[in-house]
Structure formats: structure tokens, C-alpha cells
Amino acid sequence: MNLDQLRRYAVARSLFSATSLPKALQRLGFVQADPLRAPARAEDLTLRHRVAAYRVGDLASRYPQLAIEEDFFVNYGFVRRDLHHLMHPRTPRAVWSATRMQQAQEVLVFVRESGVVRPAQVDAHFDHGRVVNWFGGNSKASTQLLDGMHYRGMLRVVRREGGQRLYAVRAHEPSGLDPVTIMDSLVDVIVAKYAPLPTASLGQLVGLLAGGVPQWRQHRQAMLQRARLRLPSAMVEGTTWLWPEGENPASRRHGVEDRVCLLAPFDPVVWDRRRFEQLWGWAYRFEAYTPAAKRVRGHYAMPLLWRDQVIGWGNISVQSGVLTPDVGFVKAHFKDKAFAVALEEELHRMSVFLRLNEV
């Protein structure tokens, strides 16, 4: 086995043939969310490659009918409901005071009686005051309380309106599985999404899983050790790589298409920066929160995949209803005619995805 085979495998298994939204979510298990729109949110940019005829906003509009939940997994995003139930009841990140717990119980009764609530309704009914948020600014205490109740599994996000969460009481459905089986199942979802994985990357992701299952934080090393023992692996150029049971990274069926894909910074193909450098030989960094003067590739530079090579990046904006791409390359500009045609096709797909043809 060699890096060329691992690279083709990584691209082919993640960018599977476009299917329906429910089937894609079932296969992915988890889709990371991000509020930045440049030109669309990360979850939409991730799903557009994997869902047939996907358009920006489809996930948000169809969310109430889908078997998914907004919640933490290894990051915040959308997780399959069957996995969501495996992570609860969840130990809170911070212990609430008796007063805070009493407030939560009162809000829980209010939400149960109301059915679905907006944060403004809770603010209007209770006088919880204001608190310092994690940005250092002021937030309404009720908003922070609802967020904490959601994390603890007391509430669920029913839908969003104008970007604001609407909540309802969440019913816990015990799985009947023992903790070890649950933990291994969650690790399997991680591996299935990001494979092939260097062992160090799996360790990083298992560490991030503490956000989804803080109650099992102390079992992370045991989870990782079991994964290394039970999952297929191979040493390639000094790194041990892992992948799901029953798959063969060296299989010739992992073909390469003459296709260009502009990938979200959080897309499963490029999320793991360690793996990115090993497979594609250069360092990609997300620079949205880097001061403008220090950016190398742009505010929301999206990795540019051509066949099985990430050859550059693209910053995509919309001006007066017209898609405006700014493409850069790691090496000299590609003059391959097939690439030029494929890039135009990808930019057209991006325009359709953004509904620019409907304006």
C-alpha cells in the first residue's frame, strides 16, 4: 500500500455518488456546521457534493422532517438521531448552582406547556437578567440557559427561524446498549467519516468526542486502544493508517474522475490538516479568523480538488448576483484543457447551488 492508493481511497469513499439528503446524512453520520457564509454555510457546502440537486438552505428547510439533531459530536453540527440518543444523558460541562437548576426546571415546565418556544418568549416570561458571554460581551441569561439545557439534553432544537433556535422538550430514548459498545460505535462513526486516518488524527478526534460524551472523558484512551486493535491498519511511509472493517484502500475500484470540487474548509476530505499535508504535500490553513494583513490564501479559501489532487484553493463571492471566483494554485497555473473545462463545470454547479440562476 502507498500514499497514492490512500489518497484515491480518501477521495473516492468520501465523495460518493450523489444520493438523497436522508441517505447522505445516514452515510456521513455527522455534518459539521459553521455560521460563516462565504459563499454559503459549511454544512451546505459539504452536502452539495453528496446530495443530488442540492441547493443552499435545503438542510435548514428540511431539518424538521429529517432524522437528525443539532448537537455536539466531535464538533457542533447535525448528527443522526440514533447517534444523538447514544450520547445522552450527558454530563454537563459545568455544574449549575441550585438557583440555576431551579431556573432550568421552571423553564422546562414552561417549554413543555408551550410546546415550541423562542428565546424571546422565555425572556418575556422570566426575568433572568444578563450575563457575560464567551465573546466577552453581554447576552440574555435566558439564552445562555436554553443553550445549557440543550447541551444537557433537556431540550432539542425543533428548527431555526432567521438563524435563531426554536426549542422543545427532548424525550430521552435509552438504547439498552452497554457503555463500551456505545463508545466503540461512536468511534466507528468517526472512522467511517474521516478514513483513512493516521493514528494521531484518530486520537485528536477521540479527544474532541469529549464534547459529545463528556461523561466518558476518562475512557478516551481505552476507546482509542480498542480502536487500534480492532480496526484494519497499515504502516505507510512511517505512519500507521486506520480505516473501517471490510474496506480495502488498495482496491482498484477507487477510481479518479476528471472532476473539480471546491471543498468547504470543514469538508471530510480536507478537515484533518495532518492528513492533508501527508496526502497532498502542502499546508492548508483556515484563515477566516486571521487578521486580513496576515492571510496567505484568503478569508474563506476553499481547497480546490482536481481528480485526486488538491492543487490550490478558491475564494468565491457573489457580486450583483454573479458568481465571482478568485482561484489560486500551489504550483504553476494549470493549463490542462480538461481541468479548465472541469473548473467551469464546478463554477456552474456552484452558481446553481447558490440559486443564482433563479434570481
Q: Summarize pLDDT for 102-123 with one digit per residue, the tens.
A: 999 999 999 999 999 999 899 8
Phi, psi of 282 (to 5 degrees): -150, 160
Q: Please name the residues in contact with 113: beta carbons below 8 A apart, sequence gap of 6 or more.
A: none
Q: How many CB atoms within 10 Å of residue 49?
A: 24
- Quickly name the fold that domain 98-169 has: Arc Repressor Mutant, subunit A (1.10.10)
Alpha-carbon distance of 30 to 51, in angstroms, equals 14
Q: Per-residue pLDDT tens for 175-225?
A: 889 999 999 999 999 999 999 999 999 999 999 999 999 999 999 999 999
Q: Which residue in 84, 4, 60 sits closest to 256, CA to CA?
A: 4
Handedness of CA 107, 111, 116, 122 (dihedral sign): negative
Sketch the domain layout of the chain as residue ranges: 98-169
Alpha-carbon distance of 318 to 40, in angstroms, equals 10
Q: Give residue 353's pLDDT.
A: 97
- For the sheet with 76-80, list strands across it: 30-32, 76-80, 68-72
Lowest mean pLDDT among 1-15, 167-181, 268-282: 167-181
Q: Indicate the pTM of the whole model.
A: 0.93
Kindly tell me if the per-residue pLDDT of 129 is higher than 80. no
- Residue ranges of alpha helices (H) inside the chain are 3-14, 21-28, 42-47, 58-62, 81-86, 98-114, 119-125, 141-152, 179-194, 199-208, 220-230, 273-280, 337-353
Q: Which of 9-13, 136-140, 171-175, 327-331 has the highest mean pLDDT?
A: 9-13
